[in-house]
Amino acid sequence: METIEHKSDPIIQLDELRRSFVVRAKAGRIRRDKRVVHAVDGITASINAGEACGYIGANGAGKSTTIKMLTGILVPSSGRVRTCGFDPVPQRRTLACEIGVVFGQRSQLWWDLPLGESFTILAAVHRISAEAAKPRIDELIDGLELSGFLNTPVRQLSLGERMRGEVAAALVHRPRLLILDEPTIGLDMISKERLRQFLIAERAERGTTLLLTTHDMSDIERLCERVLVVDHGRLAYDGTLDGLARRVAMQRVLIVDLAEPRSPIAVPSATNVGSELNGARQQFSFAPDETTAAKVLAEVTAVAEVRDLTLSEPAIEDIVRTLYHR
């Protein structure tokens, strides 16, 4: 397996980390069969301060279970985990001062209070004086463009607004490590991009370590230089995104809508993989390490008028499947 060399002390260290669950399934009218699910099945990895890592895998691969162990929510069945040098479960309170966590599906904001009040309460929870917290809160309001809805109760916010609020809430106490579980799930393109830009800037300015799980490959491309792929609780890959792309020969697809229907267009640097709407929409698959979307588009526009286009990312499920079959 490809691995990345580490020079300084890791901010996250996992050694043969395991967690299983006993699940009881109905097997007849009264009988219940016991089954053991190995959600995390021997993961060893270390992440250095300042790194930005994507933690990806199919549904049920073990991502959330790993994150719960990293943050002290769940006790490992065996193995060892250290987050910011702490044993997460017994040292959960100390660890909470060092990390920020954002769960896309869960909120840490006070639902009925105006968004801004959650930040003040969180600063107090972290024992930061109002005076010391103000410049940081202002910085987050500015960076995440929250000023327009600070006085709105959280329950009335749009998903995009709330997610930006969640990220600010996780960063009020200036954590060294920010863990994001599906931070862009359900967001539109503009909200996703805003959030990504903020995270890039936060990391550049403060050296915050990022660990994120996502089903969106664009999050990884924009934010992470390193990817860990988990499959059935085991690490299937640990290395760069480029390395992963080479391993699974990740193809991208350019979908173009033409001004007029026409027969399938052949271009030199991509393969025409589909035609719909009588040829008014055509799809071109290409290898990103051999050519670019711009070049493919130029080749198409040389022979037909293009009205609209979309660039589709490879699905994470497909990447994992390809890795697994190898």
Ligand X SMILES: Nc1ncnc2c1ncn2[C@@H]1O[C@H](COP(=O)(O)OP(=O)(O)OP(=O)(O)O)[C@@H](O)[C@H]1O
**Residues contributing to the site for ligand X (CB under 6 A):** 21, 23, 37, 39, 57, 59-65
Q: Nearer to ligand X by C-beta: 146 or 320? A: 320
Q: Nearer to ligand X by C-beta: 37 or 287? A: 37
- Min separation Cβ 260 and ligand X, Å: 42
Q: Which amino acid, one-letter code, is at 125? A: V
- Min separation Cβ 51 and ligand X, Å: 21
260 with 253: CB under 8 angstroms? no
**Judging by DSSP bridges, how do beta strands 281-286 and 10-26 pair with one another?**
unpaired
- Min separation Cβ 312 and ligand X, Å: 20
Cβ neighbours of residue 53 under 8 Å, at least 6 residues apart? 47, 210, 211, 212, 224, 226, 227, 228
H/E element, 307: strand 306-312
- Min separation Cβ 50 and ligand X, Å: 25
Q: Burial code of 164-188, b = ≥16 C-beta within 10 A, e = fewer?
A: bbbbbbbbbbebbbbbbbbbbbebe
- Min separation Cβ 52 and ligand X, Å: 19
225 with 200: CB under 8 angstroms? no
211 with 178: CB under 8 angstroms? yes
- Min separation Cβ 319 and ligand X, Å: 14
As a residue count, the chain comes to 326
Q: Nearer to ligand X by C-beta: 64 or 283? A: 64
Q: Nearer to ligand X by C-beta: 64 or 118? A: 64
Least Cα distance to 142 among 168, 120, 124 occurs for 168
H/E element, 101: strand 99-103
Q: Nearer to ligand X by C-beta: 57 or 116? A: 57
